[in-house]
Amino acid sequence: MRLGMAAIAALMAWAAPLNAEPGPMSRWLMNEPVNLFTRGMDEIRERVDRASDSDNEFNSSASATVRYSWDDNEINIYFRLFGLEDSAISHDRCNKVRNSYIASVTNAPRDKELIFHKVLDGYVDEGGASTAEWLTNVHVPREISAMFSQNSHRARDRDEDIGEKLARIIFVEVEMFSDSGDGISCRDRITSFDAPSKPTRFGLE
């Protein structure tokens, strides 16, 4: 005699223990602590992935990675763009792309996002503070601190300057390559908006 699906489901529900508890593996995972560094790195990776997946001005393919270097005590964020026109490869363009990615990763307010592009031109807000100063001293450190935080509570002994201190070890690098493999890279701290650039070639470390 065949049982209908409804009868089988009812039988399984009746047979299940009333006071079911997590198994050993689930219990172990629930008891395992997550440190704030791991949480912050996961948050950075999520934001970097979103920034890389968003459309760039060249409509070219892009990739991104995040790595922590134990030897150098640096958090390195890498963005790579491929298949560009040779005319798109320049110091100024590399930094403008880099600033756009920094804006995405740090959740820049919508009305401030385009101002990242004006940093290289020395743009000054109405209040007199340069955009670079606002980004360096206020916005970017605040966002970094939030990434390496718990939403539910704040420890009393937490360093008030942790965002600023972490910003000193976070580096953002952009590499841009043409179809021929020639390219340019620009890399500096996340609070620097005119990063030094140098020529590079795809496939070379």
* 30-46 residue pLDDT tens: 787 778 899 999 999 99
CA distance 133 to 156: 28
CA distance 101 to 38: 22
Residue 90: other Cβ atoms inside 10 A:
13
Residue type, 10: A
Residue 110 CB-half CA count within 13 A: 0
Q: Which of 171, 178, 182 has the alpha carbon at shortest distance from 98?
A: 171
* 86-102 residue pLDDT tens: 888 999 899 988 988 99
Read off the pTM: 0.78
Q: Is residue 128 predicted with pLDDT exceeding 90? A: no
* 168-189 residue pLDDT tens: 999 999 999 998 889 999 999 9
Between 133 and 130, the more confident residue is 133
